[in-house]
Amino acid sequence: MSVRLYEREIGTLTHLGGDRMLFAFTENYIGDENRPTLSLGFKDAFGGVFSDFVPTQTRALPFFSNLLPEGHMRAYLAGRARVNPVREFPLLKALGMDLPGAVTIVPAGGELFDGDDAYEEARGRPANGPLRFSLAGVQLKFSALLEARGGLTIPASGQGGNWIIKLPSREFEDVPQNEFSMMSLAAMVGINVPPVRLVDVGDIEDLPEGIGLGADFFRRKAFAIERFDRAADGSRVHIEDFAQVFGLYPEDKYKNASLRRIAQIIGIEAGNADVAEFIRRLTFNVLIGNADMHVKNWSLIYRDQKTASLAPAYDFVSTIAYIRDENFALKFSRTSRFGGFDADELAHLAAKAELPERLVLDTARETAARFREVWTKESAHLPLSQRVRGGINDHLAVLPPLA
């Protein structure tokens, strides 16, 4: 298969038989000093690209594996495409025309995808056909088009949307309301947040069949966020999450990484303005009790195709109202305990990540003060359940000051 970045072929994914596959960059891409960046994870020590890959079994390299959905979403799309969800080569073949960022994966010679024959024989062919898009993550979500009249419509193939619609959770109540509220608060605090909406599921046009989550499904709310990996003219903007940067598979998104290391890379690649934005988001998510800010919830964006900067914010949810947790998803520097997020821990993070200590501490203090002001004034006006509102208040009452 041809791997393309901004429609330019930069490499190939080759099926070797026995469910093994091999990725290789093209010589043209390797030799191009002005090459667009695919991933910081592929940069070598001399500013070139690492190109000595070995075959992988069943799974693609972590960079490509992280382009695919997980959990319920993967099972749903794999079933629609008649693909065994474990086998990533045919799954990338099925979904490769609409992946996150500016990567596309095109079958060799322009051949059409016709499903995984062995899986089709085992499961039978669904009548409603494949959806050919991929959005990373576990939650059921779809790419949607914003119509001129203001409504959201799912394209027939799932491809080409400029918004993401996240449907109600199977496990937890009012997650869309929670995420809309947290993202709205984040914008008020000064964080870079894309446009967001809270919409009625029943008002979303052309939702695929087979995703109902109960009798009241179409009376519930969904969360919608504008895609920052698609430009206004529909062109692709490249992004990657930090699981891709670190070469981690999605199931390892809570392991082998720290906020300190993410901050260090942002400081090296993007500079102090993005470091301040990183600290702002980190502080905000500690304050709302978001225990699920793993490496896939931090991303880089390549607006000029080469230079990394911190991508806009996404996936801000107060999780402590659903599952009590004393720990952040990743270590800050020495600890992951919410109660350990204090000035001393931030100073340690700054020192180890080689960041300006005053910038880190002043940004965290300003964010905390601004958040408490906004929370006091605005929380009653947000579509939050009493459970979430009370959970955040209880959490704020026991957090250490950042003085």
Average pLDDT over residues 231-251: 95
- Supply the range of the domain harboring residue 117: 2-63+79-122
Domain count, the chain: 2
**Residue at 368 is within a domain:** yes
**Residue at 182 is within a domain:** no
Q: State pTM to two decimals.
A: 0.92
Alpha helices, DSSP H, located in 102-147: 117-123
**Residue at 46 is within a domain:** yes
pLDDT at 132: 65
Q: What is the pLDDT of residues 308-332, one digit of tens each?
A: 999 999 999 999 989 988 999 999 9
Q: What is the pLDDT of residues 124-159, one digit of tens each?
A: 444 455 666 777 766 778 888 887 777 888 886 667
**Residue at 101 is within a domain:** yes
252 and 113 inside one domain? no
Q: What is the pLDDT of residues 342-383, one digit of tens each?
A: 999 999 999 999 999 999 999 999 999 999 999 999 999 999
- 292 labelled catalytic: yes
Give the active site residue among 116, 174, 229, 292: 292
243 and 99 inside one domain? no
Q: Is the pLDDT of residue 262 over 60?
A: yes
Average pLDDT value for the chain: 90
How far apart, in whole angstroms, are the C-alpha atoms of residue 325 and residue 336? 11
**Residue at 278 is within a domain:** yes
Which DSSP symbol is given to 136?
-
14 by Cβ neighbours in 10 Å (0-12 / 13-18 / 19+) ranks as: middle
Average pLDDT over residues 271-289: 98
117 and 242 inside one domain? no
pLDDT at 122: 37
Question: Does residue 128 or residue 55 have the better pLDDT?
Answer: 55
Q: Report yes or no: 240 and 299 within 8 Å, Cβ to Cβ.
A: yes
**Residue at 53 is within a domain:** yes
**Residue at 25 is within a domain:** yes
Taking residue 151's Cβ as centre, other Cβ atoms within 10 Å add up to: 13
**Residue at 296 is within a domain:** yes
Look at residue 137 and give its three-state secondary structure.
strand
247 and 118 inside one domain? no
CATH number at residue 360: 1.10.1070.20
pLDDT at 216: 78
Q: What is the pLDDT of residues 161-209, one digit of tens each?
A: 899 999 888 778 899 999 999 999 999 999 999 999 999 998 888 887 7
